[in-house]
Amino acid sequence: MAHQCYSVQPSTLSVASANEAAVAGIPLDQYQDTSQIDFAFDDADIIEEGTLVAVIGRQQPKGDESIIQEKSVLNAADKLVFMVSENQYKGVLDGSVPVLVQPVNWMETAEEIDDLFIGDAEVWRRASIGLAGPLGGDFPLVTKEGHHVLDIIFTSPIPSLAKVAESLGKLDGVVDHGVVSKFPCAVVIASESGLSTVDNLSANAAEGLQS
């Protein structure tokens, strides 16, 4: 019986993963915007149960890590799988959503975002080191593309990540955000009892993504 061989060219945007690959002797392909991506997997910060809309970018970036580039890879992939623990797969969402904004007039953009979610969230500019208060201190985080990061810290449950993304997309000062909505995609959920897999191919999930 003849066996078909496949050529696999792995690539990563993670500094930690690249270091581990180097130690293991695994050659990595340099990702470019024009690269064809057959399969991508990522560890999201949180996944919305049912729709599988995800939030990435809550953690401080390391090295050249970029929310914009990460989302570019995920959206370009033919197949996408997120990997999370069971406490990151939720029907009732909380926590923060990172937003990339232009450094010029960033405070006006922050005020517009605050008005969108008034009473439900606080908007803080992320500092490059430690915690420096809502304004980000004297050393705000600047991404590799030159943007500032505003964290929308929800103080009440997030009703819909899709609606959050839609609202942010209408603001002129917003460059991008950490909400990822990909159809189709799957999620591998790790728990003490083992691994389980869900996808958004069902009719209910598809309707949730389109709402």
Amino acid at 10: P
pTM score, whole prediction = 0.82
The residue ranking higher by pLDDT, 129 or 106, is: 106
Look at residue 146 in the predicted model and tell me its pLDDT: 95
**17-76 confidence digits (pLDDT tens):** 666 666 666 665 665 555 678 888 899 999 999 899 999 999 888 777 899 999 998 988
Provide the token pair at 209.
């993504």
Report H helices in the chain: 15-24, 67-76, 106-116, 161-168, 203-210
Confidence bin at 207 (pLDDT 50/70/90): very low
pLDDT at residue 210 tops 50? no
CB 142 within 8 A of CB 103: yes
Q: Could you give the domains of the chain? A: 15-32+43-210 (3.30.70.260)
**189-205 confidence digits (pLDDT tens):** 999 999 999 998 764 44
**102-117 confidence digits (pLDDT tens):** 999 999 999 999 999 9
Long-range pairs of 157-162 with CB within 8 A, sequence gap ≥ 24: 157/92, 157/93, 157/94, 158/93, 158/94, 158/95, 158/97, 160/48, 160/211, 161/48, 161/51, 161/53, 161/54, 161/55, 161/93, 161/97, 162/51, 162/53, 162/208, 162/209, 162/211
Average pLDDT, the chain: 85
pLDDT at residue 179 tops 70? yes
The 3-state DSSP class for residue 64 equals coil
